[in-house]
């Protein structure tokens, strides 16, 4: 289910990601981690129900920074 995310580099060789590519990569990683086709719900519903709050991507799993919204 993963897709290849292309990125550009700046003059220092650092990756430059668009927000769309960044969130697509996070969504794909979270889906890879949480989705079980034998479990109830869609991959989106299973990502939403994720309880792994120690994961660095957890606040971004829904396509936004949840901590900023609820802080």
Residue 16's pLDDT band (cuts 50, 70, 90): low
Give pTM, 2 decimals: 0.59
Residue 37's pLDDT band (cuts 50, 70, 90): very high
Beta bridge partners of 8: 16
Burial (CB count <10 Å: 0-12, 13-18, 19+), residue 5: middle
Distance CA 18, CA 46 (A): 25
List the chain domain ranges.
8-70
Burial (CB count <10 Å: 0-12, 13-18, 19+), residue 29: middle
């Amino acid at each position: 289910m993963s897709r290849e995310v292309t990125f550009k580099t700046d003059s220092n060789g650092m990756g430059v990601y668009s927000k769309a590519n960044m969130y697509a990569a996070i969504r794909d990683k979270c889906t890879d981690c949480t989705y079980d086709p034998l479990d109830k719900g869609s991959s989106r519903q299973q990502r939403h129900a994720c309880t792994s709050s120690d994961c660095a991507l957890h606040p971004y799993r829904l396509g936004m920074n949840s901590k900023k919204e609820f802080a």
